Structure 1
Amino acid sequence: MRLLVMLAIVCAAFFPAASSSQSVPDSLGQMQLSFAPVVRHAAPAVVNIYAQRIVAQRQSPFADDPFFGDLFRNFGQVTPRVQDSLGSGVIVSDDGIVVSNFHVVGNATEIRVVLNDRREYDADIILTDEESDLAVLKLRNATDLAVLEFADSDHVEVGELVLAIGNPFGVGQTVSSGIISGLARSGIAVGSGRGYFIQTDAPINPGNSGGALVDMRGRLVGVNTAIITRSGASHGIGFAIPANLVAQVVAQARDGETRFQRPWAGVTAQAVDATLAEAFDQRIPEGVILLELHPDSPLADAGLTRGDIVLNVDGAAVNSAPEMMFRLASRGIGATSELVYRRGDDLRMAQIDLISPPDTPDRMARRVEGRSALRGLSVARINPAVIAEFNLPPNAEGILVTSVQDFAARTGLRTGDILLAINGEDLRSTDDVLRQSASQSRNWHIDVLRDGRRVSLRFRI
């Protein structure tokens, strides 16, 4: 009898009775038995996305020629073409809010979302952010939806088990397992996104983009976005957008924003490397050093200045400029953040208000029209909002070229150029640009600042 009892205990431990009431594992022992409860909980909230967009394509007789194909790449008739895109998404609210990647649905003209139970819905884009490679969709007339809860991605640790759920290669929903391989991956261009990522070795393949990276409690840790690969295959270096940033993007979409609004810091910063650490008598390299601050920067308003080294934001260490900006962006406009920074030998603390970039003084946007060699040129006076919009240095000033079309596109001017002078006349306002563009001269000379260098453009009409 004793032997039978012992046998029953062992069987119960290693072969638990099947039950439809299985839940997400809450112990290491349960997790080691199977990932099935996690998948059962999370998979219904991961969807397949089929998107179509219209793109312009040139039909050139030299398209397949190895030499003339490149030489005449702009030759031929432009015809519209339908481009299909396949990816994944995550349902994050029961009213039909879905998060995916910008590179999956950005600029799509038609989006079809297929749920895990094979229901299909049309969807509309309600917010996009190319910089973070995120897009927020709203399903039409969807009901009875499974939802994934957001995890606090700031508490994720290297070595934690995670599952990647998506639709790789269009074969259908697939689950792959792995661990968190690294945090604070920044300075990496991944897809169309640039910034701060979670790295995982859970296999991520084409079609997984926009899918869920979930923890062992079935919560959303991040949105899978891309891999680093030379062959096109997954080699265990995948990246996900942290859930805290995803949650902030979703919150802004719910508030009616169509573009993600980041808090404005008004600074340029650089990671402290070994050389800088030695110069500043640091035992180990840590933090980011402030190189430039706009006079209206909230950091400047809180007392920080050029040369200060920011060590952490809201209790989290920061060791790169993208990581610092991620911390601020995940808090959102209207919140406050606490910064710890070093000035010389002193350790200091400051609280900053997270604000949108001020659109003051007025940008005085203007567009050249009529009979002019610069027709189609759009310009604006540089202010903090323009600096943020066009990713200019905090100390930028003057008149910015915001768009180049029509005749102006033939002059050599580019979006992002800072206009200095036209035909020898210095420019101090956008109205000066309109006045100088009305010149009937046949010989034109335009001075611009491009990527920090003065460039002279000369042409004749």
Structure 2
Amino acid sequence: MKRLASLLFVSVFAGAITLGAYILFFQKENFTIISQENNGSVVNTSYTPTSARGAGINEVDFTIAAENTVNAVVHVKNITLSQGPTTIFDFFYGTSRSAVPQVGTGSGVIISSDGYIVTNNHVINKATQLQVTLNNNRTYNAELIGTDPNSDIALIKIDPKEKLPYLAFGDSDHTKIGEWVLAVGNPFNLTSTVTAGIVSAKARNLGRNQSFIQTDAAVNPGNSGGALVNTNGDLVGINTAITSQTGSYVGYSFAVPSNIAKKVVQDILEYGNVQKGFMGIRPAPVNTRDAIEKGINNIDGVFIELVEEESAAQEAGIVVGDIIKKVDEIKVHKYPDLTGYLSTKRPGDTLAFVIDRDKELLTLPLVLKERQKLVVPEMGLEVKNLTEHDKKVYKISSGVKITGVPERYRGYGLSEKVIVKIDDYEIGNIDDAYTAFGAISKYGKTVIVMVGSNGERDRLIFQ
């Protein structure tokens, strides 16, 4: 035993001597010395702690938002009855036949536990029957509560036997470009489909004087009316449209901001229609030769070209040439920034406008009014409520003044006339005019009574 221990000690000692000799005589030190004259590259580094999982998308957890959203998004079925010809024999000979049901589909978002659902107006438009299928495959008949075609928002209602999962409206004004969002809906009748993307832009105008959130989350036919949520599961938009030459997703999708949808829903429930506040301005058009010549094409803000008489803007002290830079806490870079925010307000609301007047910033309080001008159906005339000045000039107390005439009626001398009566219906304001023109029959005769600035009354027979 002693002999074995001696051999082990001698072996360890010899190995240590051999290793030490190699390091001392053979191994060379490998150093690189950089002096001030060597012009070595300098790299600035960040000392912010990093995650072991990496950065970017790996940091985002979509699972909770998706789990909380899919059960609050429903499948909406729109059933309409069509009686048009389906064969060439029907077309030429007018063969009578029974109505044929046609089915359209979309999505909706449950916004209350008792069954209120927000969707798009174009999803439920002209429906004779609405059906809603929940994520648990239960199907209910739905009732239409109200719509707003301008914002493409509709409110429907089902009567469930149990409380339903629902989504709370988030604040779309505080969504940020680059923020992760999820689009949840039922594309191509595929229920509970979740796609992810980022907010690509805000206040997009698609030619409707509307303000949309643009994302690159995949949205396809059937997604309309579905939810756009942030990673917290807050509802920040209602998916509405895509731009595509094929009808399918090609990289862009658009959603109605949740603040607009929320306000529309509240108005429908409280007033039965949508209350819109107007300030009474016309912005200067951009990307035109006139705008370029005047040097206003690249202005950061909204350049005011016209202020309507007795409008909220005029009463607030806003004048032609002012540039709107900010309203409340919302920065205004272009007109959709302004219209999008105004769409969330009602008549009587007071807003703080920051304007640039001759390079001096002014803050002006403005109280929104009810709309004073609209385009009536059927004839397409633009009419406005009478101002006190108009009443004195025309020597009347009620009526609506024609301020815009379509091309096909230009030769009738209608401009600047005041409509006071349509058939037996007295016209007091633009709402009366809208109702009266909407009741005009294409197959009957309508008598329109108008007053000129000289006090003479004219009768136009429209048929």
Q: TM-score, normalised by structure 1?
A: 0.69
Q: What secondary structure is seen at the aligned counterpart in 2 of 1:175?
A: strand
Report what 1:267 is aligned to.
281
What code does the residue aligned with 1:235 have?
V
- Return the alpha-carbon distance in structure 2 between the equivalents of residues 379 and 237 of structure 1: 48
Higher strand share: 1
Distance 1:432 1:61, change over 3 A: farther
- Return the alpha-carbon distance in structure 2 between the equivalents of residues 342 and 352 of structure 1: 15
Report what 2:368 is aligned to.
354
Report what 1:112 is aligned to.
131
Distance 1:50 1:303, change over 3 A: same
Residues 1:181 and 2:200 are matched in the alignment: yes
| Deviations 1:317-372, CA, capped at 9 Å, x for gaps | 22333331221121333321111112223221111112223666644764438xxx
Distance 1:36 1:429, change over 3 A: farther
Please give the residue correspondences for 1:25-424 in structure 2 after superposition, counting only pairs within 5 Å: 32=59, 34-55=61-82, 57-58=84-85, 61=88, 80-186=99-205, 188-189=206-207, 195-257=210-272, 259-270=273-284, 285-357=299-371, 362-363=398-399, 366-368=421-423, 380=427, 383=429, 404-407=440-443
Contact 1:272 1:287 in 2 (8 A): no
Contact 2:183 2:239 in 1 (8 A): yes
Distance 1:305 1:123, change over 3 A: same
Q: What secondary structure is seen at the aligned counterpart in 2 of 1:157?
A: coil
Q: What secondary structure is seen at the aligned counterpart in 2 of 1:195?
A: coil
Contact 2:107 2:185 in 1 (8 A): yes
| Deviations 1:44-80, CA, capped at 9 Å, x for gaps | 111111111234525674899xxxxxxx9xx957975
Contact 1:85 1:104 in 2 (8 A): yes
Q: Measure how far apart 1:430 and its partner are.
A: 12
- Return the alpha-carbon distance in structure 2 between the equivalents of residues 78 and 269 of structure 1: 53
Contact 2:184 2:192 in 1 (8 A): yes
Q: Measure how far apart 1:117 and its partner are.
A: 1.8
Contact 2:215 2:254 in 1 (8 A): yes
Q: What secondary structure is seen at the aligned counterpart in 1 of 2:113?
A: coil
What code does the residue aligned with 1:290 have?
I
Please give the residue correspondences for 1:6-21 in structure 2 after superposition, counting only pairs within 5 Å: none
| Deviations 1:176-199, CA, capped at 9 Å, x for gaps | 11111111111x14xxx6511000
Q: TM-score, normalised by structure 2?
A: 0.69
Distance 1:316 1:111, change over 3 A: same
Distance 1:88 1:401, change over 3 A: closer
Q: What secondary structure is seen at the aligned counterpart in 1 of 2:366?
A: strand
- Return the alpha-carbon distance in structure 2 between the equivalents of residues 324 and 341 of structure 1: 12
Report what 2:378 is aligned to.
none
Contact 2:219 2:249 in 1 (8 A): yes
What code does the residue aligned with 1:57 have?
G
Q: Measure how far apart 1:168 and its partner are.
A: 0.4
Paired positions, count? 370
Contact 2:286 2:297 in 1 (8 A): no
| Deviations 1:98-141, CA, capped at 9 Å, x for gaps | 11000001232211111112222222111201111110112224
Distance 1:316 1:58, change over 3 A: same
Contact 2:211 2:337 in 1 (8 A): yes
Q: What secondary structure is seen at the aligned counterpart in 1 of 2:343?
A: helix
Q: What secondary structure is seen at the aligned counterpart in 2 of 1:331?
A: coil
Q: Measure how far apart 1:385 and its partner are.
A: 5.1
- Return the alpha-carbon distance in structure 2 between the equivalents of residues 77 and 319 of structure 1: 58
Report what 1:373 is aligned to.
none
Percent identity of the aligned residues? 32
Q: Measure how far apart 1:89 and its partner are.
A: 0.5
Structure with greater Cα Rg: 2
Distance 1:137 1:145, change over 3 A: same
Q: CA RMSD in A?
A: 3.8
Contact 2:327 2:338 in 1 (8 A): yes
Q: Measure how far apart 1:405 and its partner are.
A: 2.2
What code does the residue aligned with 2:126 have?
N
Q: Measure how far apart 1:161 and its partner are.
A: 0.8
Q: Measure how far apart 1:289 and its partner are.
A: 1.7
Report what 1:17 is aligned to.
none
Report what 2:416 is aligned to.
none
Report what 2:42 is aligned to.
none
Q: Measure how far apart 1:245 and its partner are.
A: 0.5
- Return the alpha-carbon distance in structure 1 between the equivalents of residues 438 and 176 of structure 2: 43
Q: What secondary structure is seen at the aligned counterpart in 1 of 2:170?
A: coil
Structure 1: 5+ residue stretches without partners: 1-12, 15-27, 65-71, 370-377, 391-399, 414-418, 438-445, 447-458
Distance 1:170 1:60, change over 3 A: closer
Q: Measure how far apart 1:246 and its partner are.
A: 0.9
After superposing the two structures, state which structure 1 stretch, 78-87 or 102-111, moved more. Answer: 78-87
Structure 2: 5+ residue stretches without partners: 1-51, 373-384, 387-396, 400-418
